[in-house]
Each structure stands twice: as structure tokens, then as C-alpha cells.
Chain A
């Protein structure tokens, strides 16, 4: 596909066009556009499927009071979850990075771990304990618990990067500590917080596990129902397109709220991190608050799973089956992560460096798709895959492809953030030394983007591990992952038999989750 000759050919072309119109290597641009095209494939399926019964049917499906109600319900769910996650994520990040809270190092790791819990496990744990939680607030609880780290993580990273010299200046102008926090720090972390908020919002729109278990009728619930209760893919496609429109609004909102994300400085003087705020007597209450967050988001679901595990201690677990599932899970997650990073990095670099509308659109398409539930992407790949590459149907490459489409956006966000804060001047000077665009990408941009790539990879990895609907549709026959084995058991019996799988899934997903913080720490 890309032989060495081809690459150097491209480079020589570029070298002659020293400062061409494009700010990035054409190789990067081509892969980025290809990534966006790939991500847009489900849209193609949705358009084909939605129009298969004529345009009248589309109008009829959409133009109902019920569709409007549903849109409102899903929007309120996504907005409430996002707002709560912003409060929890930003506040706990501030406590962890900027205060002398006792045990802030431990909190920095533990507050990321809820990411490892699949929404269906968390929801089932809660509802089996407190059945009255069913409904809107139950869904809000579960979705906020497992998605606030999407905000916590980037905000922690951006707080750590803040150069205290600006704070010093603000203080010398007479601002108090809290004024600095609100007027300056909040503004500095805004791009990170909004990027995280977008991921939370899109995730809340797309999740099925939590709303299904909590019995909250959202768009995703109805789309699933249209497939598996209505056997009406056309209706499901029409509804999915409405979801896409809502998703476009979210992506646009984030774009507006983000402001100018560039905050890189290359300058003289010694940059230093701001001092931690002394909480004084509030240290203990503040720590108690964070302990509360950990208990609700992590400890309670985990304790309930452990309880099932010990209840089932008598029934034997087939350890070879368990190990096989672990191996398969790690294997497919690894491949999917590699694929997602391969597409996400160029898309993110393009979005960070080229402000032209087409370049920005490539990134936004990737995000818009993220609001679609797994079953829609899965069936899109079923529909297109079996018609275009039948020999690959229900084989590993097609499954990996579906994962890449589903989760590429998780990596794009964090890589873009990394690239945006690295000074473009470094790339410009490398160019001025005669390096080709592609070499600059490889030798300057990529190393600078490394923290973002690591974060993106970890996020993709743990999310692939938890994925269920697309996996069941597309996995090679006979392949079992931890998530499918978990499903196998919960669909027939109670959670007790499934608990070893749930526990292992959470434990293994916790490894990349914990690494996320470590990567950030060493920055």
C-alpha cells in the first residue's frame, strides 16, 4: 500500500512545493480523509436503509409526536449526564491537581477506574440492589458514574500543563486565589473540559446498556426495539438519522464552546507549575467528598459484582474457557486499538493544524458517528460488508473494522488536544531546516503527540473490551470474548454465573485505565 518508493516520491513532490497551501503532509491528509470516509460508511447504510420504503415513509416515521418526545428525552438525558459529569470531573480534577488534598496521588488513579465498568454491569448492579432506581435518574447515575472520567482525564492533564507565570501576573494585578481560579484557570481548562464533555454527551446518546437496564425510554432503546422487536431496519435507520442530527448539534455546540484551543507557548523564562492551594481545615471534608465519588462510581458496583462472585463460588468456573476469553479479548482489543490509532492520528493532526473547513469536517464526521449505538454500526457493517466483501463477513478483519469505526473518535479527541498544545513553531523550524512534511510529521509531530496517542489508545482498548452488540453480530463463529461470555451467562441465568467474567473484564479494563493516569503523570 505504501512502499518506501511511494513515500519518498510523495516527499520529493512536496519538497518542491516548499510552503504549499496544505499545513500537513499529503500522506497525513490522505489517510485522514480516508478515515473520515470510513467513519461515514454507516451514514451511507442509514441513507440506503431509511429510503428503502420511499421518502413518504421517512417523513411519516419522523413526523410524529413520539419522535419529538424521544428526542427531548434523549437530549435531556445527555445534557443532565454531561452537566453532572462536568461538575464532578472538573471539581475532582481541580482537587487532585491544585490542592493539598490528602491522598491526591491515589485519587488521580482511582477516579479514572470507573471507565473500566461496562454500563450494563453497573446498571444491573444498582438495580438489583435498589430496584426503585429504575428510570431517568437511575440512567443518569450510571452514565455519569462511568463517563465523568472522560472529563476528569483531560482536565487533569490540562491543569498540570498550566504555566504558573500567568497566575503570578494575575495575582500581581490584585486578584485573589479564587478569582484566579475562576477567571483564569477555568478559562485555561475550557478546551479540555468541552472536549471531554462532548465525549460524555455522545456516549450518553449512544449507550444502550444503562438505559435498557434502567428502563428509560431513550432513542437508543427505541432503535434497538425497532431492530429486535419490530424487525424493521428501515424504521431503525430513520430514527438513527434523527440521532445523527442531534449528534451534529452536540458537535457544533462543542465547537462553539471550545473557543480557540491553542494555548502553546514557546518563550523565554522559566515555566513552573502553580503551587497547590492549601485547603486548611477543609482538607478532610474535601477528601470525604472525593471518597463519596469513588464509593458511588466505583466501589458500590464493584462490591455488588464481588457479592455475586462469592455467591457463585460453589459453582465451578471453566478456567480454560475463561483464559481463552481473556486471550481473545486482549487480542481483538489490541488489533482494534492499532487500527483506530492509525486512522485517528492523521485525522487529529489534520484537524489541529489545518483550519480549512474541509479539514475540520473530517474530524467532525468521526465525532458525529460516535453517537450511534453499537447495533447500528454493527448492522451497517453487516449490510455493507456482506454485499461488498462477502469473503470477509464474520471474520476478524471485518470485526476490527467495525471497532475502528465505532471508537476512532475516542482517540481523535485526545490526539488533537496533544497536537494543539504543542507549538506549531517547532514544526515550522523543522520545515525550515529542509525536512519534508512527512518527516516533520514523523519526527516532530508524532513524538509531541505521544501522550495524546497513549491516552487515545488506552481509551479505545478498554472500550473495545466492553463492546457487545457489534461483537455479537460480527465476531468470527466460535470466538468468545469476556463480554460475549458475560452475555451468554446473563441471558440464561443470573449474574452469579457471569460474575467471574464481569470481574475479569473490569480488572483487565482497569489496567489501561490506570495507565491513563500514569501517562499523564509523567508528562
Chain B
């Protein structure tokens, strides 16, 4: 074979072994990919006119809000591109993106993340016509975000075994509840409650309560739903959860099968904290008019009733009927007065919880 004597590159390409042909295919494929990436990077540029779709960073879950977003599009003709994620992570993403952020609207599961994004200067001030629709304590003091729906912390209790549930968080410290309280240490709403406790009672006051609470040996569960399962199974008698878990359980299993009730906590006690899901418009948004329409839509009777019906959350705008007639009204709750943006100091809360041994092991 002549080619063997003088192996040149062309000879090599003419008689490739099946193995090297395969590896070359891989190599060429990979090359094509990289070239494609670069070509893609050089092509297409983003358009940024007022008519484009509205990009919503949604900390509220797809299964809950996607139908609502569709209603908005049907009503206004404005398309929505929703990116779903954890509210905290979306907040961190917006802060990292800076002024180039593609987000127009941030719809957060809780006020803390909105407060942080606002503190980073990433939210623009909302018009009074929007802010005035909800009670002032459920909107940002600097006007950069507005609450959409509310949820309240309650003590869920076994209504067969427990006749006199505690009426304040200090009542939970009674030795008779030792080992009888369930809580979800990693749950965002529980941590928001502790942040509220820090804001209301100061660091020392909060630590004192948490240490006494820990000494009463509460039982840790994975999620709020699991806390209620724990009550149902008789593992604990009380559970620190949001109000709607009991109502959801009744809806799913029927009232006769649920022997758990909510104890609402009034008198401005930290245990009755009302937190909100809220929304803000980014200062870098190029679709501010559409974004405002979207916020107005979320405060409209349609959307407010949707939240009340779907999630048993409190509507923040008047004139909405609660899906559960036994649910108290928002104004009758006597929730503690707190600037909800202060709930952004969540990391300090987690540090405190770790310090007293209530978060990690």
C-alpha cells in the first residue's frame, strides 16, 4: 500500500478508521455547537419598545397565578412572559442583574424580598391611585410596592383534645404544651414571624422568647402541611402555621374529617403577624404603562376574588367575600403594627434561629 509509506494528511482523511470517524463526528458536532453559540450571540438583538410583552418575575407559583396572567392578557391584549422561581432567589437575581434586568414586574410571595429589592434601588414609586387602594400598612412606606393578598399566622389546634388553645405566643411557653407544638423550621412564613418578633420585641426580647420556646421542645416538620398531618395523627396538639392550611385541608377532605381549627391571635401579638404577597415595578422597566395596568389588574375585584377563592388568602381591597364564611375579616384581626419591609432582615433571623438551635442541627 503506497499510502502507508508516506502517510500524509490527505491519505489520513481518505482512509479513516470507523473509530476516528466517529470521534471526528463528535468533534465536528461540538465545533458546530460552539460556532452556533457565537453566531447566535452576534445575531439578534433585544427589542425594547413599550409594546413588547411584560416580563414578570413571579415568586408566586405557576399553578396558582398562570390562569390569572392569562385573564390579564385576554382583558388587555398585553402578553406576559412569566419566570417562576423562589421569591428570595428572584430578588437576588434582580439585584445581581442591575439596571439591565429584563424584568418589568416583581411579584413576590412575601414583603421581605420586595423590601430588599426596593432597598437596592431597583423599584420605582407607584402612583397614589394604586397605593391608596390597600390599607397603608400593607404597602411600602416609600411607595415602591403594594400588597396584593394577605395571610395571617395562626395556632392550629386539635379541637377534640384542646379546649383552650393559647391566645398569645407567650401562652405557647406554658409547660403543658411541652412536646405538643409542631412548626416548620425552614418555612418562609415561620421565619417571617420570627423576623416580626425581632422587630416588635427587639433582638434580646426575641431571643428570650425563642429560647423559652425551644425549651418547650417543639417538634420540627418539613412543611406546614406536615405540621397539620402531625396534629391529625396525634403527634402534637398545636401547630404554628398560616391560616389557610386548615381551610385547604377541609376543602380537600371534607369538614367532617378534619378535627383541626384555627386560633387567630389578636391584640397586636407578634403571633398574629399579617404578611402579604406583593408586587413592585422595576425602575429599569421599559414597559411601565403596561406594568401599571398589570398591578391595577391584580387589585381589581376579579383578581382579588380569585385569590380569596383559590387560596383563602385575605383580599386587601374592600368588597370581596371570603370563600370561608367563618374566616374573620382583615380589620377584625388586630394584627401587630409593623413596617413589612423590615421583614427583609431575614438572614439575621436565620442566624438567631441557628443560635438558639431552632433551625439547623
Residues of A within 8 A of B (CB): 1-2, 8, 11, 124, 127-128, 131, 134-136, 212-217, 221, 225-233, 335, 338-339, 341-342, 375, 379, 382-383, 386-387, 389-395, 397, 400-401, 433-436, 439, 442-443, 446-447, 450, 453, 469, 472-473, 477-478, 488-489, 491-494
Contacts and interface: CB of A to CB of B under 8 A. Distances in A.
A226 B347 contact: yes
Contact of A391 (B24, B46, B62, B83): B46
Given A134-B220, A433-B7, A338 B33 contact: yes
B97 interface: yes
Interface in B12-40: 12, 16-17, 19-20, 23-24, 26-27, 29-31, 33-38, 40
A232 B47 CA distance: 31
B120 A231 contact: yes
B63 A1 contact: no
A391 B359 contact: no
Most buried by A among B88, B91, B225, B360: B360
Interface in B226-267: 226
A25 to B, nearest CB: 12
Given A135-B361, A229-B347, A435 B100 contact: no
A215 B185 contact: yes
Contacts of B100: 386-387, 390, 393
Nearest to B86: A228
Contacts of B44: 391
B89 A469 contact: yes
Interface residues of B, number: 74
B92 interface: yes
Most buried by B among A8, A128, A228, A434: A228
B274 to A, nearest CB: 20
A229 B91 CA distance: 9
Q: Which 7 A-B pairs give the minimum distances between C-beta atoms?
A: A228-B88, A135-B361, A230-B347, A342-B30, A231-B116, A217-B360, A229-B346
Contact of B41 (A386, A397, A435, A447): A397
Nearest to A389: B41
Interface in B69-123: 81-86, 88-89, 91-93, 95-98, 100-102, 113, 116-117, 119-120
A375 to B, nearest CB: 7
A488 B20 contact: no
A211 to B, nearest CB: 9
B23 A447 contact: yes
Contact of A439 (B12, B347, B359): B12
A231 B92 contact: yes
A356 to B, nearest CB: 25
B55 interface: yes
B28 to A, nearest CB: 10
Contact of B61 (A342, A436, A488): A488
B20 A446 contact: yes
A434 B100 CA distance: 54
Interface of B: 6-9, 12, 16-17, 19-20, 23-24, 26-27, 29-31, 33-38, 40-41, 43-46, 55, 61-64, 81-86, 88-89, 91-93, 95-98, 100-102, 113, 116-117, 119-120, 185-186, 191, 220-223, 225-226, 344, 346-347, 349-350, 354, 359-361
A382 B98 CA distance: 10
A442 B23 contact: yes
A227 B88 contact: yes
A341 B30 contact: yes
Given A11-B9, A447-B20, A136 B91 contact: no
B7 A435 contact: yes
Nearest to A233: B96
B61 A492 contact: yes
A400 B37 contact: yes
B95 A127 contact: no
Nearest to B117: A231
Contact of A494 (B29, B38, B220, B223): B223
Contacts of B17: 443, 447
A215 B360 contact: yes
Nearest to B88: A228
A27 to B, nearest CB: 10
A391 B100 CA distance: 11
A341 B34 CA distance: 12
A87 to B, nearest CB: 24
A134 B361 contact: yes
A2 B222 CA distance: 53
Given A8-B9, A436-B9, A442-B24, A494 B225 contact: yes
